Amino acid sequence: MGELTSAEANLRTYLQVLRRRSFWVIALLILAVAASVGVSAVQTKKYSASSLLLVQPAGATFSLISGIQQAITPTDILTDLQLLTSAPVKTEAAKQLGFKPSIVGSIVGQTNVISVTASAKTASLAARAANTYAKDFVAQEQKRAINAIISGEKQYQSQIDAIDRQIQTLSASTTAAAAATISALTSQAAVLKGDEAQLEVAAAESPGGVELVSLASPPKSPSSPRPLKDGAIALAIGLLLGLVLALLVDYFDDNFYTKEALEKLTGGVAILALIPKISSRKKRKAKLIVVEDPNSPVTEAYRSLRAALLLANRDASLRSILVTSPSGNEGKTSTVANLGVILANSGKRVVVVDCDLRQPRLGSLLGLQETPGFTSIFVGENDSAVEVQTLANIPGLAFIGTGPIPPNAAELLGSSAAAEFFGALSLEFDVVLIDSPSLLVSDAMVLSTYADALLLVAAAGETNQRQMQWALQLLDQTNGLPAGIVLNKVARRWRKRY
């Protein structure tokens, strides 16, 4: 998996991951913004206008005993908010407007104010719809409050009539008890009449519990679409989704990208050099980067590889080096060619041998022919047919191609003639570099018997952990053959400095 599975992941690791997965972040950003722009382009313009309603105590909410006006509770406001979108209000507003308006009610902050927002195709129509709807709601609330007041007045009058009938019945009696009862009933009737009068006064002052305090005015700009605001929201969403996707892709990625990630898999195998990734422009321009750009960071990396090999060759026992890779396209052939040039420039007599009998490419990289070459000695050609080819502009560097491609490559490479051939090269040259097929085929293990050391070329971001672990298991079968790893195609921001 990616580096995020490590317990040592820190901010630097996350920044490296995001830089490596920047494609996903940029792609999601572009996709989100493009979708926002597309939706805004096809969306019909709408205008929104709002009128304001104040929820306050109605006349019927006065206490008939204390005469104190009751306070508005959050439940009262929520109740009015639900009644705002009730069927009677919608029906009345649609009848006056000629269409069903799109209405949204909301509470303004922590106040007793309700906002009635209407949306329409034009600014004037939106304002008209909001005002009509608000007025109809106020009328409905006033009607409901008046009906409640009328009902209350009827109840008061019914009680007063009942008391009057009792008084008329008792007035025929001349006893002291009857007189006392009549006096009490008369006082009770007076109180009820007072409450009824107070209810009428309160109803006259505020017959309904909702008041229209602000009419809607036509808006100057549409409420939707909002390209700038929608684009900013899309940008934030795209960035968030891109970051999440980048981290997920890296988490489930089985490739390794850094030296630290590779070291956790090598089990003690030395990492001799890190070769930076060559840009596509330079790949098209130059076949040998160390020749075309001798001062580039890539060339310096190959010089570091040469220094590492010289340190390992202090006892002059490493004369033949096999170069292979866990799979294809890691850059082993370019490593052989560039390393051969660097070694030759240091005064060594170097021969590079293309033994990749599956996909020979070393000759085309050096600008030479693959035939005649190595396999010519097995097809009955004379010894002169396998004479080495030289490069005029690189003294000390020689090349031997593959020769004719045989059908039985593994058997040919394991023959005694092949052993004699490589033994003769080790006596004639200071360094023999063998370009081998990848470890996916058996040729590399056969060729390892002719080498003093083995270079395993892995590509950052291309070679995965399973391939590397398989390659390391195969290296254990080389009976202790000295080995080193070259991490190729390393992505790094190189600065032009001395």
Could you tell me which residues come within 8 angstroms of residue 16 by beta carbon, excluding any fewer than 6 positions away?
3, 257, 258
Say yes or no: 38 and 72 in one domain.
Answer: no
Q: What type of residue sits at position 240?
A: L
Tell me whether residue 415 is in a domain.
Answer: yes
Predicted TM-score (pTM) of this structure: 0.62
Q: Give domain status of residue 498, yes or no.
A: no
Containing domain of residue 21, as a range?
3-43+226-250
Same domain as 337, residue 441: yes
Task: Give yes or no: residues 31 and 101 share one domain.
Answer: no
- Three-class SS of 5-16: HCCCCCHHHHHH
Residue at 290 is within a domain: yes
Same domain for 455 and 438: yes
Cα separations (Å) of 72 from 54, 61, 92, 152? 11, 10, 27, 21
Quick one: which of 91, 116, 89, 118 has its CA closest to 105? Answer: 116
Q: Which residues fall within 8 angstroms of residue 217, CB to CB, at 6 or more apart?
A: 49, 127
Both 17 and 125 in a single domain?
no
Residues 332 and 447 in one domain: yes
Q: Are 245 and 24 spatial neighbours (Cβ–Cβ below 8 Å)? A: yes
Residues 334 and 465 reside in one and the same domain: yes
Q: What is the CATH number of the domain that holds 66?
A: 3.30.70.1130
C-beta neighbour count of 378 within 10 angstroms: 19
Does residue 497 belong to any structural domain of this protein?
Answer: no
Looking at residue 486, its pLDDT comes to 93
Task: State residue 286 phi and psi, 5-degree precision.
Answer: -125, 140
**Within 13 Å and on the Cβ side, how many CA atoms surround 107?**
14
Cα dist from 379 to 316, 386, 406, 443, 481, whole Å: 34, 11, 9, 19, 31
**Residue 498 has what pLDDT?**
37
CB half-sphere exposure, 52, CA atoms < 13 A: 11
Dist. CA 311–CA 109, nearest whole Å: 76
301 lies in some domain:
yes
Residue 94 is assigned to a structural domain of this protein:
yes
User: Are 193 and 279 in the same domain?
Assistant: no
Instruction: Report d(CA 116, CA 137) in Å as an integer.
Output: 10
In a domain, 219, yes or no: no
Task: From first to last of the 498 residues of the chain, give the pLDDT tens digit.
Answer: 555 555 455 777 777 778 778 888 899 999 998 888 888 878 788 889 999 998 876 544 444 444 445 567 788 888 888 888 888 888 888 888 888 888 888 989 888 899 999 988 888 998 999 999 989 888 888 777 777 777 777 787 788 778 877 777 777 777 777 778 877 878 877 877 777 777 666 666 555 578 888 899 999 888 888 888 888 899 999 999 988 888 888 778 778 887 888 888 887 788 899 999 887 655 544 468 899 888 889 999 999 999 988 887 666 677 899 999 998 888 999 999 999 999 999 999 999 999 998 889 999 899 888 888 888 877 665 454 467 898 888 999 999 998 888 888 888 888 888 898 898 898 899 999 999 999 888 888 899 889 988 999 999 888 888 888 888 888 877 766 777 899 999 876 544 443
Same-domain status, 134 and 193: yes
Q: Where are the alpha helices (DSSP H) in 313-432?
A: 332-345, 362-366, 409-413, 416-428
Helices 123-170 + 176-205 axis angle, to 10: 170
Query: Which residues are bridge partners to 114 per DSSP?
Result: 53, 107
Report the number of distinct structural domains present in the chain. 3
Same domain for 351 and 461, yes or no, is: yes
- Domain for residue 496, yes or no? no
As beta bridge partners, residue 214 has 52
Instruction: Say yes or no: 296 and 151 in one domain.
Output: no
Q: By the 8 A CB rule, do 451 and 317 touch?
A: no
Same domain, 62 and 13: no
